[in-house]
Amino acid sequence: MATMHQLVEQYIPLANKLAFQKKKTLPKFIDIEELRSAAYLGLVEAASRFDPEIGVTFSTFAYPRIFGAIHDYLREQGWVKRGDLTPVLSLDAPCAEDEECTLKDTIEAKPEGDTEECFEVITLNLDEQAKQVLRFYFIDEYSMKEVGEKFGVSESRISQLIKHFKGRIREEWSEEALRLELAA
Instruction: Give the model confidence (pLDDT) of 63-76 as tens digits.
Output: 888 988 998 888 78
Give the confidence band of 182 by pLDDT, cuts at 50, 70, 90: low
Domain spanning 103-183, CATH class: mainly alpha
Q: Give 104: exposed, middle or buried? Use CB within 10 Å, 0-12, 13-18, 19+.
A: buried
Question: Residue 147 above 80 pLDDT?
Answer: yes
The reported pLDDT for the residue numbered 40 is 96
Give the confidence band of 16 by pLDDT, cuts at 50, 70, 90: very high
**pTM greater than the 0.75 cutoff:** no
- Domain residue extents for the chain: 4-76, 103-183
Distances (CA, A) of 54 to 5, 10, 162: 19, 20, 26
The reported pLDDT for the residue numbered 172 is 78
List, for residues 118-128, the tens digit of each pLDDT value.
777 778 788 88
What's the angle, vertex CA 120, arms to CA 27 and CA 118, rounded to 5?
A: 55
CATH no. for 4-76:
1.10.1740.10
Lowest mean pLDDT among 106-115, 149-158, 166-175: 106-115
Nearest to 175 by CA among 100, 92, 116, 115: 92
List, for residues 20-66, the tens digit of each pLDDT value.
988 888 778 888 999 999 999 999 999 999 988 888 888 888 888 89
